[in-house]
Structure 1
Amino acid sequence: MLELTKSKLAALKRLSDENGVIGALAIDQRGSLKKMIAAGTASNVGDSGIIHFKELVSKELTPYATSILLDPEYGLPAANVRHKDAGLLVAYEKTGYDATTVGRLPDLLPEWSVKRLKEAGADAVKFLLYYDVDEDKKINDYKHVYMERVGSECVAEDIPFFLEIVTYDAENDDVKSKAYAKVKPHKVIGAMKEFSKPQYHVDVLKVEVPVDMNFVEGYTEGEIVYSKEEAAAFFKEQSVATELPFIFLSAGVSAKLFQETLKFAKESGSTFNGVLCGRATWKDGVAPFAENGEQAGRDWLQHTGKRNIEELNLVLKETASSWFDKAN
Structure 2
Amino acid sequence: MKTQNFPIKSVITSLLSTMALSVIYSSQAAAAWSGYQSLGGVVTSEPSCTSSAGQVICAVRGTDSALYANRFNGSVWSGYQRLGGIVKSNPSCTNDGAGKVLCGVKGTDQALHVIWFNGSAWGGYQSLGGLLTSDPSCTRAGVGKVICVVRGGGSGLHAQFFNGSSWSGYQTIGGLVDSNPSCAYTGGGSVICGVKGTDSALYVTRFNGSAWSGYQSLGGVMHSDPSCTANTAGRVICGVKGNDGALYVRRYNGSTWSAYQNLGGVMTFGPSCATTSGGGAVCAVRGLDSALYVKRYNGSSWSASYTNLGGWLAGPPDCTNNGAGKVTCVVEGSASGLHANTGP
Normalised-by-shorter TM-score class: 0.3 to 0.5
**TM-score between the two structures when normalised by the length of structure 2:** 0.33
Q: Which has the larger radius of gyration?
A: 2
Higher strand share: 2
Q: Which has the higher contact order (CA 8 A, sep 6+)?
A: 1
**TM-score between the two structures when normalised by the length of structure 1:** 0.34
Higher helix share: 1
